[in-house]
């Protein structure tokens, strides 16, 4: 390996010597406000001080305090914040899983340069489960900060005009949860399996688990539904319902004699089983409580968006706000409870205003569809434009309204290319985090495209400034560029690249 004077390690080349610094990701790495991002989220990872117990001890010089030795619970050293934040950006920008993004990071020099590494390291940056804990510690405000910084970068680099941030297009979609299709037969078989497993974990011996019969009934129900033999299907489901109810009653009888602590540990499982039995008997939701569509994800809702190809979707409603010109996402938020679209507009505009506050601009006009009618009084600071006001609109507003449909392909890209199509994160908090991170990944890809499209003059100015800095340093060192030996190139440090 050739010796590079710009490196501190004799046997390794720096990453800026291995990659093309004109690559869009390398350019973006030098323009992202990493210090601001780390300062904004660092307080969420403050480590609590732990000290040993003080023990008095007498010596010749009087009483002293000696700390009793205790094993450290600190664990391995923490991964730098920039690496963790960049992994979240790269995961949703390039549609990778937690396992896939850490493996691809270990093999891609450009990704490591984007993460702030100086040398190429052929190892995993962290375990994939570390990303799970990092997201949980970030919280909703932390991931919104990541999204806000992408908007700030777009405005600071001049890739989008600040006046374009005043007009936004708002629409809603469904972020589906990673669950199977919730038929009554599958839910009842899942309830039977979970009840048996819960009783086994707590040492409760059941008379009968109905394992063979339950599995056979689940297969029969699937065949009867496929053959459209609905009487036989309802008879099989009724038998499954009887089995689950019998198991629940037996567990309740045996838990009643065991104690209150055992009852508390089984209450959630018994409650879910009771809801599944009741809703399958009524073939609908039970009065006073929502229908349960998944055992492991009780927050899932059934949403009908009027699509002919997919009448019902199971997940959570997500609102998306993008600029009318430029298609940059300025807001993404999950709304649980399946609210009316118009009732989500105030919170959506509020989020977009907060995310754009560093740019000094806030949304003034919102272009929406007819699902947002009748909420003008709830949003007095924003002018709503939709087809229902066509006669009262100016010619300019009518032309702009034609661009409202541009948010539809944005939602399509969010689902296909940035992992919004299926959410694997747990609980309502997972839904909210996933929606914002998908929008942040979309904006990263948007920035890369705009650097390629509009960044020709920007890159030329960057290279010109680097060459001027190199020339000034060369003159200060007492030699000129022409005196440089033929075939040698200035290093990255001579060019001013960190």
Same domain, 323 and 438: yes
Quote the crossing angle between the two packed helices 427-477 and 81-93, to the nearest 10°: 110
Same domain, 164 and 196: no
First to last CA, the chain: 22
- Residue that terminates a domain, selected from 394, 426, 443: 443
Same domain, 403 and 420: yes
Q: Which domain holds residue 355?
A: 160-179+301-443
- What pLDDT is attached to residue 493? 31
- pLDDT < 50: residue spans in the chain: 1-4, 49-50, 52-53, 55, 58-61, 456-458, 479-498
- Residue that terminates a domain, selected from 223, 251, 282: 282
- What pLDDT is attached to residue 70? 60
Same domain, 309 and 427: yes
- What pLDDT is attached to residue 61? 47
**Sequence-ordered alpha helix ranges (H) in 380-491:** 395-401, 407-417, 427-477
423 by DSSP, 3-state: which? strand
pLDDT in tens, 449-490: 999 988 744 455 556 566 666 666 655 555 433 334 434 444
- What pLDDT is attached to residue 494? 34
Same domain, 332 and 437: yes
- Residue that terminates a domain, selected from 419, 443, 467: 443
pLDDT in tens, 227-247: 999 999 999 999 999 999 999
Whole-number Å distance between alpha carbons of 367 and 384: 6
Element of type H or E holding 168:
strand 167-176
Domain assignment present for 379: yes
Domain assignment present for 82: no
Half-sphere exposure of 149 (CA within 13 A, CB side): 24
- Please compute Rg for the chain using Cα positions: 30
Same domain, 232 and 267: yes
Same domain, 242 and 385: no
Same domain, 271 and 413: no
Burial of 436 (0-12, 13-18, 19+ CB in 10 A): buried
Q: What are phi and psi of 199, to 5 degrees?
A: -65, -40
Domain assignment present for 40: no
- What pLDDT is attached to residue 78? 83
Same domain, 420 and 335: yes
Same domain, 189 and 311: no
Q: How many domains does one find in the chain?
A: 2
Same domain, 315 and 415: yes
């Amino acid at each position: 390996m050739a010796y590079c004077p710009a490196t501190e390690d004799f046997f390794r080349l720096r990453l800026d010597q291995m990659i093309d610094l004109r690559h869009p990701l390398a350019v973006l790495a030098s323009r992202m406000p990493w210090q601001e991002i780390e300062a904004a989220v660092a307080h969420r990872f403050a480590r609590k001080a732990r000290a040993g117990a003080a023990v008095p001890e007498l010596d010749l010089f009087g009483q002293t305090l000696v700390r009793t030795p205790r094993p450290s619970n600190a664990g391995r050293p923490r991964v730098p914040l920039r690496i963790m934040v960049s992994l979240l950006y790269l995961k949703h920008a390039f549609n990778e899983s937690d396992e896939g993004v850490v493996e691809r990071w270990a093999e891609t020099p450009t990704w490591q340069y984007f993460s702030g590494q100086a040398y190429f390291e052929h190892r995993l940056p962290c375990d994939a489960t570390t990303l799970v804990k990092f997201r949980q510690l970030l919280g909703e405000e932390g991931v919104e900060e990541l999204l806000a910084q992408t908007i700030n970068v777009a405005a600071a680099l001049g890739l989008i005009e600040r006046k374009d941030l005043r007009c936004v297009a708002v629409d809603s979609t469904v972020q589906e949860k990673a669950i199977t299709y919730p038929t009554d037969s599958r839910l009842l078989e899942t309830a039977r399996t979970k009840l048996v497993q819960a009783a086994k974990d707590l040492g409760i011996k059941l008379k009968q688990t109905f394992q063979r019969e339950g599995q056979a009934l689940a297969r029969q129900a699937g065949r009867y539904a496929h053959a459209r033999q609905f009487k036989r299907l309802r008879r099989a489901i009724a038998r499954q319902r009887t089995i689950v109810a019998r198991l629940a009653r037996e567990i309740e009888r045996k838990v009643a004699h065991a104690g209150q602590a055992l009852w508390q540990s089984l209450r959630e499982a018994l409650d879910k089983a009771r809801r599944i039995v009741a809703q399958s008997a009524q073939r609908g939701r039970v009065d006073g409580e929502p229908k349960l569509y998944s055992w492991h994800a009780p927050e899932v809702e059934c949403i009908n968006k009027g699509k002919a190809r997919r009448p019902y979707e199971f997940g959570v409603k997500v609102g998306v706000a993008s600029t009318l010109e430029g298609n940059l996402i300025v807001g993404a938020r999950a709304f649980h409870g399946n609210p009316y679209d118009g009732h989500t507009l105030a919170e959506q505009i509020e989020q977009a205003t907060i995310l754009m506050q560093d740019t000094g601009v806030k949304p003034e006009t919102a272009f929406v569809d007819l699902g947002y009618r009748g909420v003008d009084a709830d949003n007095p600071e924003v002018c709503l434009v939709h087809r229902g006001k066509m006669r009262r609109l100016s010619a300019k507003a009518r032309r702009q309204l034609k661009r409202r449909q541009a948010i539809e392909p944005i939602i399509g890209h969010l689902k296909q290319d940035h992992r919004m199509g299926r959410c694997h994160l747990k609980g309502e908090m997972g839904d909210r985090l996933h929606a914002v991170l998908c929008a942040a990944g979309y904006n990263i890809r948007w920035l890369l495209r705009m650097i390629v499209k509009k960044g020709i003059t920007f890159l030329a100015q960057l290279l010109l400034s680097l060459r001027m800095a190199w020339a000034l340093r060369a003159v200060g060192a007492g030699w000129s560029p022409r005196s440089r030996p033929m075939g040698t190139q200035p290093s990255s440090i001579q060019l001013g690249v960190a």
